[in-house]
Structure 1
Amino acid sequence: MSTEPSAYHRRVAEEKRAAILKAATGLFLASGYDGTSLAKIAEVAGVSKATLFKQFPTKGALFDAIVTESWQVEDSGGPEPSVEDLKTGLTTIGHRYVELLTRPGMTALFRIVIAELPRFPELGEAQFSQGKMPYFESVSRYLAAAHSAGSAKVDAPDLAATQFLGMISNFVFWPTLLLPDWAPGQSAIEQAVDEAVRTMSARYGI
């Protein structure tokens, strides 16, 4: 007899996990990390404490999961960034980065980390090591691959990745932490990505 969970049970488990993550994010933002208990998260999520503890034995593990999922790049079904054409590849990456930064909850997640950082520095570590860093490394690997393919000359891919992502996030994302009404239009965002790509192409393109 198979011990593997059925498709139904897997779907139910995924739904409960999603409800827990949503409830936790909302409570962390409203009451702070320290002011939110796992018992309250279970109550708001509509699950038993046993169910929550089974998936997330500690509050730290739950926060780690929130960070990891927030930075997860979904497969849009579109083409992979081209390493043969630097401008086209960076354009693809740039627009996907915008989609990531403008996801509902991304600004709220950073606000939680910033507010709680003095008492819980491990939250900043989680945000950096499990969220931002893996994404940054994927862009650095792309630039290294473009260098190997001969479409770019990038001797320091980490530095180049920092430059590219910074040009986009400094316009699209970081102002939202201080300016709640910051919401540039689609044309302004597209221009920001295009200018970042042009700058990178001028500096590193062959």
Structure 2
Amino acid sequence: MSSVLPPDAPPKDRLTDRKRLAIVQAAIDEFRTHGFGATSMDQVAATAGVSKRTVYNHFPSKEALFAEILVQLWESSSAQVDLAYQPDRPLRAQLLELMWQKMRMLCDASFLDLARVAIAETIHSPERAQEMVARLGAREEGVTLWLRAAAADGKLKLPDPVFAAHQLQGLVKNFAFWPQITMGQPTLPPAVQQQVVESAVDMFLACYA
């Protein structure tokens, strides 16, 4: 979830950005290991190798730092599921590629660890989740964009592309995300991953194609 600094950024700006990235990564590691409640800004500063004052210069509170991580988690999720609709390719092949992108992300151990922390904390503090949704509400995931394009091309009949995108991804997450998050089950073996992806795509196309 790191970002690349622009090569033409002034040295001071590059140093500031590097410190911010170090703080965010340190917070991710601390929240993942200890949870939100047991993590202090002192711990984050020590792990990042910066002063506590530097941490507060970038983030006025632990809540603000956590909110930034939630945004990065969401952006990581949507960035990894991205495929431009191609009208000359079969729908099934494109949807399989999209859902394999989703599956690979959901099976990433770091993503799952951070998602556990984020979900646990937003259950205790729903306003944090609401704030994140409000900040990102205007943005669409790659799956939704792909479905809109396919519907505009007349290949899918979708009364509500946003609903359909949640429905499609839910077919995958019911096997490859929620059992791992809520019950600590291991990630799916490759053969089961393939079964989940292919059956989700085929069910979706049977309904909407």
2:147 pairs, out of 143, 149, 168, with 143
For residue 178 of structure 1, give the secondary structure of its aligned residue in structure 2: helix
| Structure 1 residue 164 displacement after superposition | 0.4
The answer as to 2:76 corresponding to 1:103 is no
Unaligned runs of 5+ in 1: none
Give the Cα–Cα distance (whole angstroms) in 2 for the partners of residues 202 and 67 of structure 1.
Answer: 35
The structure-2 alpha-carbon separation of the partners of 1:162 and 1:186, relative to structure 1 and needing over 3 Å to count, comes to same
The answer as to 2:61 corresponding to 1:58 is yes
Give the Cα–Cα distance (whole angstroms) in 2 for the partners of residues 90 and 126 of structure 1.
Answer: 31
Partner of 2:21 in structure 1?
18
What is the TM-score with the length of structure 2 in the denominator?
A: 0.77
The aligned runs of 1:13-162 (5 Å cut-off) are: 13-71=16-74, 72=76, 73-74=78-79, 80-82=84-86, 85-117=90-122, 119-126=124-131, 128=133, 137-162=141-166
Q: Decide which moves more: 38-47 or 65-74.
A: 65-74
Give the Cα–Cα distance (whole angstroms) in 2 for the partners of residues 15 and 173 of structure 1.
Answer: 32
CA contact (8 A) 1:111 1:177 kept: yes
| Structure 1 residue 119 displacement after superposition | 4.0
Q: Decide which moves more: 117-126 or 100-109.
A: 117-126
Paired amino acid for 1:99:
R
1:171 pairs, out of 175, 180, 184, with 175
The structure-2 alpha-carbon separation of the partners of 1:197 and 1:180, relative to structure 1 and needing over 3 Å to count, comes to same
Give the Cα–Cα distance (whole angstroms) in 1 for the partners of residues 131 and 32 of structure 2.
Answer: 17
Partner of 2:5 in structure 1?
none
| Structure 1 residue 127 displacement after superposition | 5.8
Aligned pair count reads: 199
| Structure 1 residue 94 displacement after superposition | 0.7
CA RMSD across the alignment: 3.0
Paired amino acid for 2:126:
P
For residue 42 of structure 2, give the secondary structure of its aligned residue in structure 1: helix
CA contact (8 A) 1:81 1:92 kept: no
Q: What are the superposed Cα offsets for residues 79-101 of structure 1, whole Å, 9 maximum, x if unpaired?
A: 63435542233122211212322
CA contact (8 A) 1:83 1:146 kept: yes
Percent of aligned pairs with the same amino acid? 30
Q: What are the superposed Cα offsets for residues 56-102 of structure 1, whole Å, 9 maximum, x if unpaired?
A: 222222112212222324479x9634355422331222112123222
Give the Cα–Cα distance (whole angstroms) in 2 for the partners of residues 120 and 27 of structure 1.
Answer: 19
CA contact (8 A) 1:168 1:192 kept: yes
Unaligned runs of 5+ in 2: 1-7
